[in-house]
């Protein structure tokens, strides 16, 4: 059921098509976070949220998948910047890696619907999401810095990073899908992951 109430919106002045596109993507991000399911999203609901006719949405996006991908790429870019920014308050490579992982957990807690669409939707089977590699590569680089500094045992940083990301995504996904279970604080689990999988001392 579409419940979003749109607002009346005037025609964009000539040359401001990109501005409308950004408004459409912003509305889609919000709706996907509310719905937690890309299949429940309709182009009409997005158009109504922006205050335009559905045809205006189709001018910028050929279909729902293209629109959802644009929204997910926007969300992922915001997440990458937040995770990178988390490193600034940490003093050493281990603290920076820990801060990155904890911010990821905090974002998932705030945006469970977007997380589900980003990682658990059927769209993942139909479309390549190459932009997701950016966060993975940055986590690998953070793990490698711990090893280079002698704060973690020398190992294959890519393999260790994959193990760490699999554990963290499992922990946050279970929280999203089974929120009523008596979960321990995520920080405690993250510290165990870092100690057991990366080999750092906290």
pLDDT of 128: 84
Convert 139-166 into a string of H (helix), E (strand) and C (coil): HHHHHHHHHHCCCCCCCCHHHHHHHHHH
Pick the closest to residue 192 from 101, 110, 81 (CA basis): 101
Contact 194, 202 (CB under 8 A): yes
Residue entry with tokens 């719905």: 35
Q: Is residue 175 part of a domain?
A: yes
The whole domain housing 170 covers 72-198
Q: Is residue 139 part of a domain?
A: yes
pLDDT tens for each residue of 134-169: 999 999 999 999 999 999 999 999 999 999 999 999
Dihedrals φ, ψ of 71, to 5°? -65, -40
Q: In which residue ranges of the chain is pLDDT below 50?
A: 1-9, 14
pLDDT of 9: 47
Q: Is residue 32 part of a domain?
A: no
Distance CA 31, CA 58 (A): 17
Q: Is residue 174 part of a domain?
A: yes
Q: Is residue 15 part of a domain?
A: no
Q: Is residue 107 part of a domain?
A: yes
Any idea what the CATH number is for the domain that residue 183 is in? 1.10.357.10
Cα 196 to Cα 87, 94, 157, 164, 193: the distances in Å are 21, 13, 14, 9, 5
Q: What token pair was written down for 103?
A: 């911010």
Distance CA 76, CA 21 (A): 18
Cα 133 to Cα 14, 138, 139: the distances in Å are 37, 9, 10
Q: Is residue 154 part of a domain?
A: yes
Distance CA 47, CA 61 (A): 12
Look at the alpha carbons of 50, 65, 139, 109 in this order and tell me if their dihedral is positive or negative.
positive
In the chain, how many domains are there? 1
Q: Is residue 61 part of a domain?
A: no
pLDDT of 11: 53
pLDDT of 13: 53
Other beta carbons within 10 angstroms of residue 48's beta carbon come to: 20
């Amino acid at each position: 059921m579409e419940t979003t109430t749109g607002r009346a919106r005037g025609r964009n002045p000539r040359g401001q098509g990109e501005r409308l596109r950004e408004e459409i993507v912003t509305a889609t991000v919000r709706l996907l976070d509310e719905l937690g399911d890309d299949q429940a999203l309709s182009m009409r609901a997005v158009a109504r949220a922006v205050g335009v006719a559905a045809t205006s949405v189709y001018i910028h996006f050929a279909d729902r998948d293209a629109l959802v991908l644009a929204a997910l790429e926007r969300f992922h870019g915001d997440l990458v910047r937040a995770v990178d920014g988390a490193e600034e308050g940490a003093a050493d490579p281990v603290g920076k890696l820990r801060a990155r992982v904890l911010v990821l957990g905090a974002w998932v807690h705030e945006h469970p619907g977007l997380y589900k669409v980003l990682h658990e939707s059927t769209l993942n089977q139909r479309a390549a999401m190459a932009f997701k590699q950016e966060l993975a590569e940055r986590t690998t680089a953070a793990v490698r810095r711990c090893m280079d500094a002698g704060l973690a045992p020398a190992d294959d940083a890519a393999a260790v990073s994959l193990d760490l990301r699999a554990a963290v995504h499992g922990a946050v996904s279970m929280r999203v899908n089974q929120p009523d279970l008596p979960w321990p604080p995520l920080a405690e689990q993250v510290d165990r992951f870092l100690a057991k999988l990366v080999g750092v001392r906290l």
